[in-house]
Amino acid sequence: MRYVIRRLMAVVPVLLGLTVIVFSILAFLPGDPATAILGPYATPENVERLNRQLGLDKPPAQQYLIWLGNILQGDFGRSYSLNRPVLDEVLERFSATLILAGAALLLCTLWGILIGVRCAVGQYGWSDRLLTLTAVVGISVPSFWLGLLAILAFSVNLRWLPASGMFAVYGGGGAADLARHLILPALTLSVVATGVIARLTRSAMLEVLRQDFICAARARGVGERRVIYRHAFKAALVTIIPVIGVQAGFVLGGAVYVETVFQWPGVGRMLVQAISTRDIQLVQGGVVVVAASYVLLNLLADLAQHALDPKIKT
Amino acid sequence: MTAALEAWRLSKTFGGGRRWFGRARAPVCAVREVSFRVAAGETLGIVGESGCGKTTLARMLAGLLPPSGGRITVDGKDPRAGAGAWGGLVQYVFQDPLGALNPRKTIRQIMHAPLRHLLGMEAPARAARIAELFDAVNLRREFLDRYPHEFSGGQAQRIGIARALAANPRIVVLDEPVSALDVSVQAQVLNLLADLQRAYHLTYLLISHDLAVVESVSDRVAVLYCGAIVELADAAEVFARARHPYTRLLADSAPVLGRKPAPAAAGELPDAPPRGCAFAARCSRAGDACRRRAPEPVCTRGENYVRCFHPVETPQ
């Protein structure tokens, strides 16, 4: 319990540091938001007036504190390009990203663990070699390119699945429609993480299977399936869980590419659009939410690991 | 003599086969054509330096590693016959007592496993049997609800022994059972093993590199070199009257109080034994015949034998 409290406390400075970084990157970015809003023909007086309205004439430290204070009260500002509160837009987009990333994470955890265990059990057999090779290829392939290939194969040529979007434009809606749209992007997004989890599961399992207590369990007449899943996998899980936590973060980050390729209306695509329109409030809000969820996922993974093995205190 | 355990030309080869592009890989012969018989209630010591195949041999005998050739019989029958029968006949005690206990299970769970999987006992019967076993190895019953990391090496090894005995085996393979323990605890565990042998009429296969341990506990000793038995002799005379030059080398290299250490023998254990006698390269007595072909076992007395063209003659 003390560990849990300590770990929770450690999240606070991380999140604070995160807001500093997000704020300073965008504050020191060349380019003037007022000019971007008013367009190239704005008069200097108008630019100055808008800067004052937006608070941009104040020193950066003060700007940061005002911004942080607003965030803590749930006010992320207003997106000028969409003309609506940033938080509403981010939450709406983030739920779409969560559906995509969650599906991808589920896929990569399931397949990664199954493949990794299968490889470790038949170490150096043909299935191990084939699957390990596939995992390496999967890790190395850029997901945006894989997404394009998937669209070409399954949408354009075979016409099995929709190429883009979250719902069909005409008469869309409902879980079935969502699922059909989800298959390709979720699979694309999960490929890299599947490879990583599979490889780490394999090595963690091999590490455990080499130990004497596994041999001892076999000598005691414990069935092979039980040895692998109840004795070895349970011990290996302690090393696998944090990897899944880290991968959850990468899946969230990788969603930016996949969302762009598949026109998925998630927070990643929102950020790409916001950056290109210099909608700084929207970028800040989006990045803070994504980064905070990354931190929280790692926190969850650490707590899960601690619950499995109380000896671990990082 | 009724043989409790018999190994006939038992071999184990690792590796071999081909790589992806057809290049052949050199196989490693860990155990080569090992044959012996152990009588019921007897203790056979197996000695040899590290890498000579002791553990591979032990794991094959306990059914944990399939042999590449040869045959194992327990009480004249194939131990593979019958469901889970091997574990009920031959049990194994590991060198690293803590590594052999699953760190995520309590001692109670660990002790239940053999009773449930090998003997199919019901829960109340299992609890009674565990209490009986813990008394036999002098462990307190409060230990049952603790986890392995809470125990010392000697206690953990006694748990390992209790677990091995739980399946009611005829034969126990002891793979360096005391080498990980303090010297003061070693004697305790060895005495316990001797008591248990008498009480349950067990047959032991004791693997060790500690010649003093082997000599004091065993009835007979097999000397393993490069995966093959080079000499099989009674424990009382195996080192005092060594017939094989390698046994003599082992006996001389063991540290004895008051004796100057013998000069280190030239050469290391070869990876792939050469044609002929595996020991020829390090042997001072080796002749041409030793390098050309492997010596056949020569009977010395009873079932004892030595594999050497030029055995050391010692006055009887």
Domains and CATH numbers, chain B: 3-260+276-306 (3.40.50.300)
Looking at the partner chain, which of B88, B94, B104 has a beta carbon nearest the beta carbon of A216?
Answer: B94
Query: pLDDT tens digit string along A179-204?
Result: 888 889 999 999 999 999 999 999 99
Please report residues of B whose CB lies closer than 8 A to that of A223: 117
CA distance B111 to chain A (A): 10
Record the tokens describing residue B258, joined without a space. Answer: 């008051």
Query: Does the beta-carbon distance from A234 to B114 stay under 8 Å?
Result: no
Record the tokens describing residue B176, joined without a space. Answer: 């360096």
ipTM: 0.70
Q: Which of B21, B102, B117, B168 to mutate to test the interface with A (most CBs of A within 10 A)?
A: B102
Give me the total of CB pairs closer than 8 Å, taking one residue from chain A and one from chain B.
56
CA distance A234 to chain B (A): 8
Look at the alpha carbons of A298, A303, A305, A310 in this order and tell me if their dihedral is positive or negative.
positive
Q: Calculate the CA dihedral of residues A153, A159, A165, A166 and round it to 10 degrees.
A: -110
The pLDDT, as a whole number, for residue B18 is 61
Query: pLDDT tens digit string along A261-285?
Result: 888 888 888 888 888 887 888 888 8
Please report residues of B whose CB lies closer than 8 A to that of A234: 104
| Nearest chain B alpha carbon to A211 | B99
Q: Where are the alpha helices (DSSP H) in chain A?
A: 2-27, 33-38, 44-54, 60-72, 86-121, 126-140, 143-150, 175-209, 212-219, 224-226, 233-262, 267-276, 280-308
3-class DSSP state of B238: helix
Looking at the partner chain, which of B62, B91, B100 has a beta carbon nearest the beta carbon of A212?
Answer: B100
B145 beta partners: none
pLDDT bracket for residue A115 (50, 70, 90): very high
| CB atoms closer than 10 angstroms to residue A37 | 17
- Whether the per-residue pLDDT at A255 is higher than 70: the answer is yes
- Whether the per-residue pLDDT at A132 is higher than 50: the answer is yes
In which element (H, E) is residue A85 found? strand A84-85
Residue in the block written with tokens 């341990």: B213
- Whether the per-residue pLDDT at A310 is higher than 80: the answer is no
Mean pLDDT of all residues belonging to chain A = 85
Looking at the partner chain, which of A219, A221, A231 has a beta carbon nearest the beta carbon of B102?
Answer: A231
Query: Does the beta-carbon distance from A212 to B118 stay under 8 Å?
Result: no
| CB atoms closer than 10 angstroms to residue B286 | 18
The pLDDT, as a whole number, for residue B22 is 62
Query: pLDDT tens digit string along A33-48?
Result: 777 777 778 788 888 8
Looking at the partner chain, which of B96, B99, B114 has a beta carbon nearest the beta carbon of A220?
Answer: B114
Q: What is the CATH number of domain A95-308?
A: 1.10.3720.10
List b or e across B155-183, with b for residues whose CB sees 16 or more CB atoms inside 10 angstroms.
bbbbbbbbbbbbbebbbbbbbbbbebbee
Q: What's the whole-model pTM score? A: 0.72
Query: Does the beta-carbon distance from B118 to A221 stay under 8 Å?
Result: yes
Long-range CB pairs of B187-193, under 8 A, 24+ apart, other chains included: B188/B154, B189/B154, B189/B157, B189/B158, B189/B161, B190/B216, B190/B217, B192/B137, B192/B138, B192/B158, B192/B161, B193/B161, B193/B217
CA B155 to CA B139: how far, in whole Å? 8
CA distance A264 to chain B (A): 43
Query: pLDDT tens digit string along A43-77?
Result: 888 888 888 887 777 888 888 888 888 888 888 88
Tell me which residues of chain B have a pLDDT lower than 70: 1-2, 16-25, 81-85, 256-274, 314-316
CA distance A142 to chain B (A): 28
B92 beta partners: B173
Q: Which of B21, B104, B171, B173 to mutate to test the interface with A (most CBs of A within 10 A)?
A: B104
Query: Does the beta-carbon distance from B87 to A215 stay under 8 Å?
Result: no
DSSP state of B72: E
CA B103 to CA B84: how far, in whole Å? 25
| Nearest chain B alpha carbon to A222 | B117
The pLDDT, as a whole number, for residue A52 is 83
Interface of B with A (CB under 8 A): 59, 62-64, 84, 87-88, 91-92, 94-96, 99-104, 113-114, 117-118, 160, 163-164, 167
Query: pLDDT tens digit string along A83-108?
Result: 888 888 888 888 889 899 999 999 99
State how far the alpha carbon of B261 is from the alpha carbons of A96, B257, B258, B284, in Å.
77, 9, 9, 19
Start-end ranges of CATH 1.10.3720.10 in chain A?
95-308
The pLDDT, as a whole number, for residue B83 is 46
Query: Does the beta-carbon distance from B94 to A220 stay under 8 Å?
Result: no
The pLDDT, as a whole number, for residue A109 is 93
Record the tokens describing residue A206, joined without a space. Answer: 């091999």
Residue in the block written with tokens 């994470």: A105
Please report residues of B whose CB lies closer than 8 A to that of A235: 102-104
Residue among A54, A82, A84, A78 nearest A66 (CA): A54
Q: Where are the beta strands (DSSP E) in chain B?
A: 3-14, 28-39, 43-47, 69-74, 90-93, 171-175, 203-207, 220-225, 228-234, 298-301, 304-306
Q: What is the arithmetic mean of pLDDT over A253-258? A: 85
| Nearest chain A alpha carbon to B104 | A235
Query: Does the beta-carbon distance from B99 to A212 stay under 8 Å?
Result: yes
The pLDDT, as a whole number, for residue A190 is 92
CA A21 to CA A286: how far, in whole Å? 14
